[in-house]
Each structure stands twice: as C-alpha cells, then as structure tokens.
A = this chain, B = another copy of it.
Amino acid sequence: MSDSIRIAIAGLGTVGAGVVKILAERGDVLALAAGRAIEIMAVSARDAGKDRGIDISGFRFEKDARALGVAADVDVVVELIGGADGIAFDLVESALLNGKHVVTANKALIARHGAHLAQIAEDKNVALNFEAGVAGGIPIVKALREGLVANEISNVTGILNGTCNYILTEMEETGRDFEDVLVDAQDLGYAEADPSFDVGGIDAAHKLAILTSLAFGTKVDFAQVEIEGIEKINATDIYHAAEFGYRIKLLGIAEIVDGGILQSVQPTLVPFERPLAAVPGVYNAVAVTGNYVGDVILEGRGAGQGPTASAVVSDIVDVARGFVFPPFIIPTAKLREAKAPAKNSLKSAYYLRLYAVDRAGSMAEITRALALASVSIERIVQSGERMEAGSGRLPVVFMTHETDEATMREAMTLLAEHADVAGEPVMMRIDNSATH
C-alpha cells in the first residue's frame, strides 16, 4: 500500500462532521478501496471547542481556513465552508494554485467560478471534485463525467432542491398553502430561517448550472439560468394540477433548443405517471437523455449529513485512487459558451391561474383578453368551491394549447393590469415533451 493521502477539512458543520465520522467508522475499508490510508491532518472551523459529536483532538486546528491552502503536509483540501466568494473562494483557489487537490460540496462556488477554478486545476494537474454539490448522495456528477461520457446529451431534468420538493409534497398531501407548510418545514429543519435561497430556486439553479456544463461541454454560466421559485404556488394550484393529472414539481431543465442551451428552474406540471412526478419529500432525482443510452434516472437523498458526506468521501477516495482529469470532462479551453436559445423557440402548453373579480361579464372579458394575446385555451375551470369566502375573488384556471413563452409572458402582463383580474396571475409550464 502506498503512503497515506493527507487531507484537511475546512468547515465542521453538519457535512464536515459527517466526513470526520465516516472516515473514523469506515477508515479500514476505505483504505483498502483507495489503495492507501486517508489521513486527516488538519481541520478548520469558527469554534474549536463546539460539541459536534466527533473527536477532533487528533487533528491540527486552524482558526483561519486559508492556512490549509498553503499547508505543506496537506494533499487534499476539503472545502465545506460554503458561499460563492469570501473564504471558500480564497481557500479553493489558493489550494489549487499550490498544487493541492480540492473536494468541495459548494455548489454556489462552482456555479459562479467553476471554469476559472477548473482551469487552475488542469494547469496544476490536480483534481477538483464537487459530487456533493449536486443532489447530495446521488452520484450524478460521476455519471455525467464518466458513466455516460460516450453520449451526446440532449436533456437534463432534475428535482434539485429537497426543501422545495418537501414543501410541494406536503402541500399536496395536506391541502395547505405555501406559507403554512414553510413554517413547519423550518421547524423540522428542512428549510432555513431565511428560506429564500431554496424556495426562490437559487440553490436548484446553482446545481443546474453545474449539470449543464457537465452535460453539454459548456463553461458553467449561472447568469444564463432563468429562475422562478415556488413562492407563488398555492393550494388551488396543487388541487387543479392534480385534477388535470399533474403534480407540480420545481424542475431544473437544461436542454438543447434551436442550437442554444435553455437553462431554467421553474415550477412545472409533471404528469402523474412520469418517474419525476413520483419523487417524494426531500428526495432529489435527475433524468439524463443521451443519444445512445436513452433516458437514465438517478434518485436519492439530495441533502443531509449522511448523503452529502457520503459524496464528499467518494470524491476523496477518487483522489486517493489517483483519478485526475478535467473537472468538466474536457479541458476548460475547449468548453463552449452556454448560449441561451431565442426565447420564442420553446413551445409548451401552460397552466395559468388567476383570480377573477366576481362580477357578471368578468370571465368573458378575461377570455377575450387571452384571445387577443393569441393564447389558445384548451380547458377552463372556474370552480366556486375553491373561492375564498367573502373575498369577491373567483379562482379560474386555464390550460393552454402549445404556445411559446414570449406569448405567455405578454398575456400575463396584460392580465396583471386587467380590471377583471385581482392580483397577480400565475403561469407554469406543462411538461409533456419528455419520457422521464
């Protein structure tokens, strides 16, 4: 067996503590699998004394994580601090520049600075692994980098945020509204005190940007992701979607559309019978369509100590085994720009929900407005049952024929200003195109 591989762990939160725990519990087997022992040399955290349920007395403690990036006795820096910039960025960049391998769970960092950091990793011939950054314990980065490498990919679609999926699942099962369920999710630790990062779709968008790069050979480009969260979805939407045979999921979709790459995170109506519709609670899932392999779907826990630490450790073992190659599969210099397609080119049917002012003739006016906006309606449901008592607002749901997003956006603007529409209307794409 070779010399041990020497690692340093920056950040001892839930995931960092999980990594220490796994290496303690499974060190012997992992050494056999890796061909060498994995040895923790140093750790860094804000508070040395905090009880994390792990023993860190055998490791050097660095108050400043940046020290790990230049430590002479460290081969691999494991970055679990988080944040796209600041210490996390400084540490990863310096570690790579100093010829150290980096393993990170930091999706924001890779989504924002992935191409820059990958170039340094390649120049220094070291690994930059981020399996834990995308969909927790699901080995989707490895699947794209290695297992499906033969394929030209045309579509990646994922449920990439467990908080959102938990909230949507709960809303469906209990019939309650978003705000209500969110409070519960916060109590259970499934949502942060400031939930905007998750429910606003940012977290899913970070992951999608990374998947896009791996799938399509493009420079990771977070700015190209169209992002919409789940905050506007209410119990009426969940109810009507189900009546029509759909479940609402926050989907991240990257696909080739007219030669451009569409990257979007948005609540979407998925037919019940599709695998992605069945993904419950905090689970994540990613479906990949390749030209040879067809559809491949990976599902599992997208967050939490165990799954995320499992992914971090697998990345460390890969480094110990000597696996080093470009982080985004092909050399960074060969990655293309992730050019977005013309918006008009994406055709889809849409779900549209609004509240009509409860007076004679309002429905006629609203449908006339939609016709003028060139939106062709397949079904209308105006359901008195779901009217909020005494609100004077009547929920109305439309399913449109296939149209393009620009047409829908224009119609939404018209409707929002319409005298017979109360409040802001909501539109969602209906996913009828794919088999997953």
How many chain A residues sit at the interface, stated as a range, is 35 or more
Given contacts A299-B296, A331-B32, contact A152 B310 (CB under 8 A): no
CB-contact partner of A149 in B30, B298, B330, under 8 A: B30
- Chain B nearest CB from A79 CB (Å) reads 18
Q: Is A309 an interface residue (CB 8 A)?
A: yes
Whether the Cβ atoms of A147 and B151 lie closer than 8 Å is no
Q: Is A300 an interface residue (CB 8 A)?
A: yes
Q: Is A368 an interface residue (CB 8 A)?
A: no
Q: Is A107 an interface residue (CB 8 A)?
A: no
What residues on B are CB-neighbors of A149 within 8 Å? 30, 33, 313-314, 317
Whether the Cβ atoms of B309 and A150 lie closer than 8 Å is yes
Q: Is A359 an interface residue (CB 8 A)?
A: no
Q: Is A323 an interface residue (CB 8 A)?
A: yes
Q: Is A295 an interface residue (CB 8 A)?
A: yes
What residues on B are CB-neighbors of A137 within 8 Å? 148, 290, 292-294, 296
Within 8 A of B (CB), among A313-370: 313-314, 317-318, 321-323, 325-326, 329-331, 334
Which of A138-146, A203-211, A244-252 forms contacts with chain B?
Answer: A138-146
Given contacts A217-B29, A275-B275, A298-B298, contact A150 B310 (CB under 8 A): yes
Residues of chain A touching chain B, judged by Cβ–Cβ distance below 8 Å, are 18, 22, 26, 29-30, 32-33, 35, 131, 137-139, 142-143, 146-152, 217, 275, 278, 290-301, 306-307, 309-311, 313-314, 317-318, 321-323, 325-326, 329-331, 334
9 residue pairs of the A-B complex, CB under 8 angstroms, read A22-B150, A33-B330, A147-B311, A148-B310, A148-B314, A151-B310, A292-B310, A293-B300, A321-B325
